[in-house]
Amino acid sequence: MGVRLIIDSTADLPKDIIEKYNIRMLPLTVHFQDEQYKDKEDISSEEFFEKLAESEELPTTSQIPPETFIHAFREEIEKGNQIIGIFLSSAASGTFQSANIAKEEFPDEDIILIDSMMLCMGMGLLVVTVAKMLEEGKNIKEVLERIEKLKGKIEHLFCVDTLKYLRKGGRIKASTAILGEVLNIKPILNVEDGLTQTIGKVRGSKKIIPYYIEHINNTMDRENTEVMSVCHSVQPELAKEMIKKIREEVNFQGEIIESELGPIIGTHAGPGVLAVFYIKK
């Protein structure tokens, strides 16, 4: 009997990581008016941001329905696998609730479902940590203890290149967006209790990486951070520059996973996002 990790597509984990640890990923659905796409299956991150730029209205995303979970759970149970499911913050989506509805169909099975209270590669780092522990032969009790310790301890740093999409999504007032664009203000956000919040701002794109480096040096738990992630939306060169600076100015020599931002945050943040994830003190 093995343990199968089931996650949703919003973790934004690269395909090679998914394959390396034999993780089963279930997609959320992205809706552009009458068109719909399965995240990571029917539409890539790059294609999503191309369509976002062309679209008059913001797309919407819909949670994974219980039926999809029931099908996945049944397949894994028939293979003799125990299931650990890790999903995006329940404050941001009903996906975790859908998984719990599906779990009720299997009352005799020990299906473990985790509300990560995180987004994007914040959740992704939690998934990678669990996958590594399972690969090392750690038992379920040890894995669950580690998950609880990491909840709320993974820093999410985001910076948006334009305020246009935050305005269109009603996250900020139109007047604030216009003033921000005129002054070239870039808000810095993180995630607290499963929701995004603004923690600072810089003027001009050139100040984003220096802000990040200072913040990382002040807040990173160096003893427990074995893996970091740098995530971007259609900004691969900026992501590579960020990784270079982390190596040089944070002196972090562990694994850094480069990833592309998906539609859950991408819808409201738009193209040009740079995000960094790590364990904080």
Residue 179 CA to residue 175 CA, distance in Å, equals 6
pLDDT band at 161; cut points 50, 70, 90: confident
Contact predicate 69/76, CB 8 Å: no
Give the list of residues 6+ apart from residue 228 with CB closer than 8 angstroms, or none.
Answer: 125, 246, 252, 254, 255, 256, 257, 276, 277, 278
Q: What is the pLDDT of residue 176?
A: 55
Q: Do the domains spanning 3-28+63-150 and 154-279 agree at the CATH topology level? A: no
Least Cα distance to 185 among 167, 162, 164 occurs for 162
Give the list of residues 6+ apart from residue 41 with CB closer than 8 angstroms, or none.
Answer: 9, 27
Q: What is the pLDDT of residue 168?
A: 61
Q: What is the pLDDT of residue 160?
A: 84
Stretch 142-165: mean pLDDT? 89
Domain 3-28+63-150 has CATH 3.40.50.10440: yes
pTM beyond 0.85: the answer is: yes
Q: What is the pLDDT of residue 166?
A: 65
Stretch 215-244: mean pLDDT? 96
Average pLDDT, the chain: 91
Q: What is the pLDDT of residue 173?
A: 55
Looking at the domain that runs over 154-279, which CATH code has it been given? 3.30.1180.10
3-state secondary structure the chain: CCEEEEEEHHHCCCHHHHHHCCCEEECCEEEECCEEEEECCCECHHHHHHHHHHCCCCCEEECCCHHHHHHHHHHHHHCCCEEEEEECCCCCCCHHHHHHHHHCCCCCCCEEEEECCCCHHHHHHHHHHHHHHHHCCCCHHHHHHHHHHHCCCEEEEEECCCCHHHHHCCCCCHHHHHHHHHCCEEEEEEEECCEEEEEEEEECHHHHHHHHHHHHHHHECCCCCCEEEEEECCCHHHHHHHHHHHHHHHCCCCEEEEEECCHHHHHHHCCCCEEEEEEEC
pLDDT band at 167; cut points 50, 70, 90: low
Domain layout of the chain by residue ranges: 3-28+63-150, 154-279
Residue 102 CA to residue 66 CA, distance in Å, equals 5
Select the more confidently predicted residue: 275 or 184: 275
Stretch 234-240: mean pLDDT? 94
Contact predicate 193/199, CB 8 Å: no
Say if residue 256's pLDDT is above 60: yes
**pLDDT single digits (tens) 170-179:** 555 554 555 5
**pLDDT single digits (tens) 75-126:** 999 999 999 999 999 988 899 999 999 999 999 999 999 999 999 999 999 9
pLDDT band at 132; cut points 50, 70, 90: very high
Select the more confidently predicted residue: 166 or 64: 64
Stretch 157-182: mean pLDDT? 64
